[in-house]
Structures are given as structure tokens and as C-alpha cells.
Amino acid sequence: MILKVLLIGAVIYVVYIMFFKQKGVQNNSKQSDTKQKPQANEMVECQNCGVYVEISEAILSNGKYYCSNECIIEAKK
């Protein structure tokens, strides 16, 4: 009798983990991806001159955003 109760409890626990816990993990991973990736229309500041440009038009060099090739060259000096 006790073995049946424990077995039913284990099955209910496994079903709970499969359906409810994994949804929370998937939602958290989606939220963290959106925080790390900038959106296409997001504005970023040029590391050299401070001008704001759209991220789709900005130039990424060494992990920093620049508005033009001239700013990249000037920043390396």
C-alpha cells in the first residue's frame, strides 16, 4: 500500500517537473537573449565622438560601436 502511494507520488512529481518547470527555464532563456542582443532600431553611442546612430548603421570594431571609419581610425591613435 505504501509502495503504491510512493509510486503515484513519484509519477505526479515527474509530470509536474516535465510540464511546469521546463516552461520557466525556457522563458528565462528567451528573456536573457533579448537583453543581450540589441534590437535593429536601437540607438548606440559612438565610442569616439559620442554621436548616436542606429545599430544597423553603426560599425562594430573590437566590441565597440562607431559611427564611421574615421572615428575608428581616430580612436586607434
Domain CATH code at residue 75: 3.30.60
Cα angle: 47, vertex 49, 51; to 5 degrees: 90
Residue 53 shares a structural domain with residue 70 = yes
As a whole number of angstroms, the distance between CA 46 and CA 65 comes to: 5
The number of domains in the chain is 2
The set of cell numbers assigned to 19 is 510540464
Domain range for 61: 38-77
Residue-wise pLDDT for 14-41, tens only, equals: 888 888 876 655 555 555 555 566 666 7
The set of cell numbers assigned to 22 is 521546463
Looking at residue 77, the DSSP 8-state letter turns out to be -
Helix (H, G, I), strand (E, B) or coil at 74: helix
The pTM is what?
A: 0.48
Q: Long-range pairs for 8-15 at CB < 8 Å and ≥24 separation? A: none
